[in-house]
Structure 1
């Protein structure tokens, strides 16, 4: 699998868009400076745009978004090995854009305006109360408000507890 390059990515629905706090000692370059998400203290990880693709997605109305989830090396190794729960140090970043019609190809949708960047960071001690995961949702590089972050854990807990609270499946 090759890293994503030459594509502008921004994350999706329930959880993060620009800087996110990654715990000290995390792999793939640590954290880029920037505002941290409320509740979890997550920031956007440095170098995430060069990480490998986990899976793309197209979100139907009312969101009408194109999305891509990328993972750090720890995440990719876990996906490839089928490791659950994900190990500490796993970082997933979801990028989301409104889709728009390609000016060159009539049947293609391409990324339009960026919507959010969402981040999940696995640290079983720091985030013990939320299944070992910290969340960040960013819009235009700024953390979303606390109310939006309060929705992350409940949704992941209710819908994907059997997959270590992770929605994205590794694309074949």
Structure 2
């Protein structure tokens, strides 16, 4: 609920029922792992603290919420970078659609992806210390989609330990 309220307040969005009502990958200790990195959906991520909401315009036209585990929240609170090993960020994304109840509001439509970043500086040394996972309907995206993860983060966010998301106070 804290995530919903923060998203609504930060983005001026009407998102009642987002986390409960969206058909999205269920987290489990046995979820399939991503190719290349071996990252899986972390157990309990839907209850993690909101780091920041985001809107993506064309071509994706998505609403996004980035949540983080305790190590992530603590690192942001200390303004500590690079992020420590054990940091995990999860981005949930939905297609944007107009609200049926409030014409100027945007609400989540169909779920698109759940994306995961895991910090392990030894295991993922070749990719800035980060492993990546992209999941569609609870299943890992193909290897070609995972090959683009680090290149995009390296090109655009290398000065912030390869993380795009800034903490929303």
Scaled to the shorter chain, the TM-score interval is 0.7 to 0.9
Q: Which has the higher contact order (CA 8 A, sep 6+)?
A: 1
Q: Is 2:65 the counterpart of 1:76?
A: no
Q: CA RMSD in A?
A: 1.7
Equivalent position of 1:109 in the other structure: 106
- Cα deviation, 1:17-57, whole Å, max 9, x if unaligned, reads 7478xxxxxxxxxx621110000000000110110111101
Structure 2 matches for 1:124-143, cutoff 5 A?
Answer: 124-143=121-140
Mapped partners of 1:43, 1:3: distance in 2: 24
Equivalent position of 2:18 in the other structure: 7
**Secondary structure of 2:80's match?**
coil
Tell me if the contact between 1:19 and 1:33 (Cα under 8 Å) persists in the aligned partners.
Answer: no
- Cα deviation, 1:106-141, whole Å, max 9, x if unaligned, reads 110000000000000000111011000000000011
Mapped partners of 1:156, 1:62: distance in 2: 18
Mapped partners of 2:79, 2:160: distance in 1: 10
- Pairing partner for 2:35 from 21, 35, 38: 38
**Secondary structure of 2:19's match?**
coil
- Pairing partner for 1:90 from 87, 92, 100: 87
Mapped partners of 1:171, 1:159: distance in 2: 19
Unaligned runs of 5+ in 1: 10-16, 21-30
Tell me if the contact between 1:19 and 1:45 (Cα under 8 Å) persists in the aligned partners.
Answer: no
Q: Is 2:140 the counterpart of 1:166?
A: no
Tell me if the contact between 1:124 and 1:131 (Cα under 8 Å) persists in the aligned partners.
Answer: yes
Unaligned runs of 5+ in 2: 5-16
